[in-house]
Chains A and B, each alone.
Chain A
Amino acid sequence: GAVVSQHPSWVICKSGTSVKIECRSLDFQATTMFWYRQFPKQSLMLMATSNEGSKATYEQGVEKDKFLINHASLTLSTLTVTSAHPEDSSFYICSASWGAGRTDTQYFGPGTRLTVL
């Protein structure tokens, strides 16, 4: 149980194009989904938190117009990197949690490696 998928697993794009990454909870309904970014040999840094049907909450320093997040249903959230540039190249990981308790566990997807040329 508690399986989270991401698509695509990797993507290479040209500078200036936009890239959409999908995050799906396969066997549970996710009330909250999170998007993280991870640089090589570094820890996970939270970018934003999204709840189904409402606007995402972005962490300080994360450009909301650059990283568009849509949480359209209880099983799907998308992250769109708009006008991508080489510095946006990174490993993007989503997680999902359910329930209403304050100790909700996050289950992580396998990640998406974005390379911007």
Chain B
Amino acid sequence: GQQLNQSPQSMFIQEGEDVSMNCTSSSIFNTWLWYKQDPGEGPVLLIALYKAGELTSNGRLTAQFGITRKDSFLNISASIPSDVGIYFCAGQKGSRTYKYIFGTGTRLKVLA
């Protein structure tokens, strides 16, 4: 099935550093979402974005809905060890379909 491209695929960072990751698509989406998945668990919603250009924060996390509607970005400031996990973006085209297209994931590892 179709997947969105996420970059980077994985990253090691030092505790306290800021993290940036992005998600790109060749087609337009009306909603972008960011989820975090811990090992052996289901994804947990972090941020949902509904409008092109929208910038939304959730604590140390900030996400943006790209102007072209073909991409989205997630930033984590001052990373801590519990930020470890896999971050997935998901795009939703709206209209009569509620289906998500998931990204390939960014695996984050934080070094204390």
Q: Is B1's CB under 8 angstroms from A103's CB?
A: no
Q: How many A-B residue pairs have C-beta atoms within 8 angstroms? Tell me.
A: 62
Return the chain B residue nearest A97 by Cβ. B98
B31 x A103 contact (CB < 8 A): yes
Q: Which of B35, B88, B98 contacts A102 (CB 8 A)?
A: B98
Q: Closest approach, in angstroms, between the C-beta of B6 and any C-beta of chain A?
A: 9
Please tell me which stretch of A14-22, A38-46, A63-71, A74-82 contacts chain B, meaning at least 4 of its Cβ atoms lie within 8 angstroms of it.
Answer: A38-46
Contact of A44 among B33, B40, B43, B95 (CB under 8 A): B43
Tally of chain A residues near chain B (CB < 8 A): 28
Complexed CA–CA distance, A45 and B3 (Å): 9
Cα separation A97 to B33 with both chains bound (whole Å):
14
> A87-103: which have CB < 8 Å to B?
91, 93, 95, 97, 102-103
Within 8 Å of chain A (Cβ to Cβ): is B11? no
> Do A107 and B45 contact each other (CB < 8 Å), given the known contacts A43-B103, A46-B1, A102-B30?
yes
Given that A43-B103, A43-B104 are known contacts, is A49 also in contact with B98, CB under 8 Å in the complex?
yes
CA distance A116 to B105 in the complex (A): 26
Q: In the complex, which of the residues B30, B40, B41, B100 contacts A106, with contact meaning CB atoms closer than 8 Å?
A: B100
